[in-house]
Structures are given as structure tokens and as C-alpha cells.
Structure 1
């Protein structure tokens, strides 16, 4: 099979022939139809400290995907050959305290598809049955391969956006990358009053405006406090979603939050951040870290919202701005790393 392969601990990927994986007991083999390119994949390509610090080589990266089940191993009970599926990329141990309590997203021994084991930048991928999300079994007949390929990052957006109640609340999102854009659509769907989003990319802010945010603010030219002023908020934002990881984003967000405001943090900073802890304490702010998706309540929420809202279905689909054949993976990675567009998807059906 064709696969993007990292042969060792060094920069770069190669499109090469690799042996097809076969499912073991409790595992499912999936023919990959489409894959999304994630920020993690960019780190693995560059083999920077963020990538080298988490991955094990040799490796086939890729953890955002959609495909068709073509084989199942022994002890597989629910997934069927022919099912159209996406996959939860976090494989948990099942026996740590959190796993046993049903909090699998907090597993202390999580291994990630495409990071610590071979992933989906290939014609075939194998994952445990319990990590398969079957669109066929859930009755989701209108999920395209491209949309199915971004269920993983859509899950990040849903997990972050719905961590705190947003009905009737004023929401500030810092970072209009693909996940920030999807989060904006989710909080709008869930009943937020005003939705403001910030970024430094005019292209991404324009995409946010087309998705119906109330304010898209370029913080390269305008102070973040203008978001509160332009929306005429007397007491600040109620809920903040920090999606960028930029060193200035969280401190600026804290400065415009209402007393008792709640902030969900998904963006991963690469350096330490100075925070005005006195404001956090005296304004009684809540800061909550977010990682991945709740398994599998977030997946249920994603599927249900897309099934019941044509607007949200269209809004999330519109975040996909580039679909390229997998043979043009270099162009796809360049587009994903440009910081100006939406989600980039690779089409793996070009190999037959």
C-alpha cells in the first residue's frame, strides 16, 4: 500500500510502499478514503521539539480520517465490513483509575494513532473496534468523506465549546484556525448571544464572518478590548475559548472577561505565559484545560448536532477549504502550515 512514512527521527516524510496492516483480535482494518492534516502532523513533518517529544519512529502519521471497513479481527462484535467510519485517535489502557471510572479521555497511558502507532496517512489503517465511530451504524447518511475526515478536530471544537454553558452568553474565541472556526459555529448553534473571534489572518477572519460571527477582530491592528466595546458589553465576556496557544492570547482574554467568567483552553503554548493571577483570583475566573474529546459523549453530540441542523452541517463543511489528492501531500502540508486557510484534506482514493 501507499503511505506517508517517517523512517526515523529526522525531518521529512516520504510517499512509499508499505506492508498492509492486518487486524488482530478486537481490531478493525479500514480502507482510508480521506484524511485531515493536523497541527501535530506539521510538527512530525518538521521533527521540531514538539514532534520529537511525542512520536515514536518509524511511523506512518495521520489521525484524522474517514474510510470503509474492509476486514475485522476476532472478537469484533458491532462494527461490520462495509461500514463508513471515522476514528477516535486516543487509545486508552482501560485499567487506570480514570478509565475504570468511565473517564477514558483522562487515561494516564493514552497512546495516539499516528503518533505512537501507525496512523492513517496510508491506504489502510488498523485501530481497535472501540475506537471506531461508525457513521453507518449511527444512521449518518450525509457525512461526506471530507467531513468525516475532520470529525477528530470537530470533536476538539465541540469539547471546548460546550465545556461551559453558552446559552444567552457572550463568547470570545481567540484563534480563528479551523478548530476555532468550528467552535464559533457550535456556540452559535448552542444559543450564544454574541460571538467574537480574534486572529491575525484576514483570510481566516473573513471566513469567520461568512460563518456568522458577530465580530471578527484582527488583533494585529486592533486591541482586544475593542471587541468588548464594539459589542457594547458592559461587564465583559462570559465564556472564553482560547484556541491559539499564542503567548498573548490568554492574558488579553483574561483582561476582558466578566467577573465569574469561564475560560476553556485548547491551544497549546510553546513557551511559558505570564498570567495576571490577581485578576483570576479577584474576578473569580475559572480556567479549564481541554484535550481531545470526551469518549464518546463528544462523538454523540457531534453526530446529533449535524443530523439535526443543516446550518451547522454546512458551516462545519465550509471550514474545509482545500481538498487535494494524496499524491500532492507536500502542497497540502504547505497549505495547512500557512496559517491563512481552513482545513486541508487529502484524498486517498487516487490510488484506486
Structure 2
């Protein structure tokens, strides 16, 4: 099979021939149709410090995908050949305290697909049956390829109650954009999103944001005044990882405000803990998706809300043949559009 391969500890990837992986007794072999390019994949391609800290090559990267079940192991019971699927990219041990308590997203022995084991930038990928998500509703290959990051958006957005609340989202990347649509679906009053990319801010307005502001020219406090807000934001979602984003968000929260943090800071963040304490703010870290409550919520809201379905689908702005993966990575790295998807039926 063709696969994007990280052969060793150096920058770059190669499109090469690799053996088709063989499923074990409890595994599923999936023929990959589409894959999304994630920030993690960009780190792996660059072989920067973040990549060096998370994996040891060789490995096939890629963890956002949509495909068709090609074969199943003898112990597989609920997934059948021909099913159209995506997959949870965090494989857990099942035996640690959190796993046994049903909190699998908190497993201390998590292995990540496309990082610590071969992933989906290939014609075939193998996953345990327990990690396979079968799409029972009609899902396009493009939308199926971004179920993983859509899950990040849903997990983050639904962490705190949103009905009637004023929401601030920092970072209009694909996950931040999808979080706008989820917050609108969940009943938020005002939704403000920040970025410095005008194309992404334009996309955010189509997703349902009341204001999409360029923080290079407009402050968050100015946005509050333009909306007639008398107090601060009730819920914050930090999606950018920019070191200035969280401190600015904290300064603009209402007393008792709640912040969900998904963005990984690119450098140390200087937080005014006095505000956190005296304003009684709640900060909660978010990683991945809840297994599998988030997946259930994702499918349900897509099925029940046609507007949200269309909005989330529109986050995919570029689809390229897998053979053009280098151009796809370049587009993703520019950070001005939405999600980039590779088509593995065209190599």
C-alpha cells in the first residue's frame, strides 16, 4: 500500500510503499478514503521539538480519517465489512484507575494513532474494534475525515452550560470555527471569536459568530461594548495556544466565568492569578474527546441540526489527491483557510 512515512528522526515525510497492516483478533482493517491534516502532523513533518517529544520514528502519521471496513478479526462483533467509519485516535489501556472508572479519556497509558503507532496517512489502517466509530447516518467523506477535530470542538464547547450565555472563543482555526457552530446550536446568546487571519474570521461569521474580530486591530473589550454587554463573558474557549490569548480572556471574563482550554501554549503563559482567585474563575484543560459520550453528541447534533451540519461541513475548504500531500501540508501550514483533506482514492 502507499503511505506517508516518517522513516527517521529528521524533517520531512515520504510517500512510499509499505506492507498492508494485518488486524489482530479484536482489530478492524479499514480502507482509508479521506484524511484530515492536523497540527500534530505538521509538527511531525517539521520534526520540531514538539514532535521529538511525542514520538520515535519510524511511523506512519495521520489520525483524522474516514474509510470503509475491509476486514475484521475473529473476535470483532459489532463492526462489519462494508461499514463506513471514523475512529477515536486515543487507544487506552483499559486497566488504569480512570479506565476502570469509565473515564477512558483520562487514561495514563494512552497510545495515539499516528504518533506512537501507525496511523491513517495510508491506504489502510488498523484499529481496535473499541476505537471504531460506525457512521449510521449519511456522512460525506470530507465530513467523516474531520470527526476527530469536530469532537475536540464539541468536547470543548459542551464542557460548560451555554444556554443564554455570552461566549468568547480565541482562535479561529478549524476547531474554533466548529466550536462557534456548536455554541450557537447549544443556545449561546453572544458569540465572539478572535484571530488575526481575515479569511478565517470571514469563515467564522458564516458559522454563526456575532462578532469575529481581528485582535491586531480591535480589542475584546471593544467587542463587548459594541454588543452592549454590561459584564464580562460567561464562558471562554481558548483554542489558539497563543501565549497572549489566555491572559486577555481572563481579563474579559465575568465574575464566576468558566474557561475551557484546548489550545496548547506555544510558550509559557503569564497569568494574573489574582484575577482568577478574586473573580472566582474556573479553568479546565480539554484534551481529545470523551469516550464515547462526545462521539454520541457529535452524531446526534449533526443529525438534528441541518444548519450545524452545513456549517461544520464548510470547514473543509481544500480537498486534494493524496499524491499532492506536499501541497496539502503547505496549505495547512499557511493557517489562512479551513481544514485540508487528502483523498486516498487518488494516489
Q: TM-score range by the shorter chain?
A: over 0.9
Q: Are 1:187 and 2:183 matched, yes or no?
A: yes
SS where residue 198 of structure 1 aligns? Answer: strand
Structure 2 stretches lacking a partner, 5+ long: none
Q: In the alignment, which residue of structure 1 is the partner of 2:167?
A: 171
Q: In the alignment, which residue of structure 1 is the partner of 2:336?
A: 340
Preserved contact between residue 56 and residue 117 of structure 1 (Cα < 8 Å): no
CA RMSD of aligned residues (A): 0.6
Q: In the alignment, which residue of structure 1 is the partner of 2:98?
A: 98
Preserved contact between residue 171 and residue 238 of structure 1 (Cα < 8 Å): yes
Q: In the alignment, which residue of structure 1 is the partner of 2:88?
A: 88
The C-alpha deviation readout for 1:287-344, integer Å capped at 9, x for no partner, is 0000000000000000000011110100000010000000000010011110101000
Structure 1 stretches lacking a partner, 5+ long: none
Offset of residue 212 of structure 1: 2.1
Q: In the alignment, which residue of structure 2 is the partner of 1:122?
A: 122
Q: In the alignment, which residue of structure 2 is the partner of 1:330?
A: 326
Q: Specify which of 271, 291, 296 is matched with residue 292 of structure 2.
A: 296
Distance 2:84 2:102 in 1: 26
Q: In the alignment, which residue of structure 1 is the partner of 2:38?
A: 38
Q: Are 1:12 and 2:12 matched, yes or no?
A: yes
Distance 1:148 1:245 in 2: 26
Offset of residue 47 of structure 1: 0.4
Offset of residue 270 of structure 1: 1.9
Distance 1:288 1:140 in 2: 32
Preserved contact between residue 3 and residue 60 of structure 1 (Cα < 8 Å): yes
Q: In the alignment, which residue of structure 2 is the partner of 1:267?
A: 263
SS where residue 345 of structure 2 aligns? Answer: helix
Q: Are 1:134 and 2:139 matched, yes or no?
A: no
Offset of residue 232 of structure 1: 1.3
TM-score (norm 2): 0.99
SS where residue 280 of structure 1 aligns? Answer: helix
SS where residue 291 of structure 2 aligns? Answer: coil
Q: In the alignment, which residue of structure 1 is the partner of 2:49?
A: 49
Distance 1:250 1:233 in 2: 20
Distance 2:309 2:225 in 1: 32
Preserved contact between residue 192 and residue 213 of structure 2 (Cα < 8 Å): yes
SS where residue 41 of structure 1 aligns? Answer: helix
* Counterparts of residues 245-260 of structure 1 (less than 5 Å): 245-260=241-256
Distance 1:240 1:90 in 2: 26
SS where residue 54 of structure 2 aligns? Answer: coil
Q: Specify which of 229, 233, 237 is matched with residue 237 of structure 1.
A: 233
Q: Specify which of 221, 224, 231 is matched with residue 225 of structure 1.
A: 221
SS where residue 175 of structure 2 aligns? Answer: helix
Preserved contact between residue 242 and residue 264 of structure 1 (Cα < 8 Å): yes
Aligned length: 347
Preserved contact between residue 178 and residue 207 of structure 2 (Cα < 8 Å): no
SS where residue 350 of structure 1 aligns? Answer: coil
Offset of residue 105 of structure 1: 0.1
Distance 1:95 1:322 in 2: 40
Where do 4+ consecutive residues of structure 1 move more than 2 Å?
A: none
Q: In the alignment, which residue of structure 2 is the partner of 1:158?
A: 154
Distance 2:266 2:306 in 1: 37
Q: In the alignment, which residue of structure 1 is the partner of 2:316?
A: 320
Distance 1:167 1:228 in 2: 18
Distance 1:210 1:305 in 2: 18
Q: In the alignment, which residue of structure 1 is the partner of 2:275?
A: 279
SS where residue 25 of structure 1 aligns? Answer: coil
Distance 2:133 2:230 in 1: 44
Distance 1:231 1:298 in 2: 31
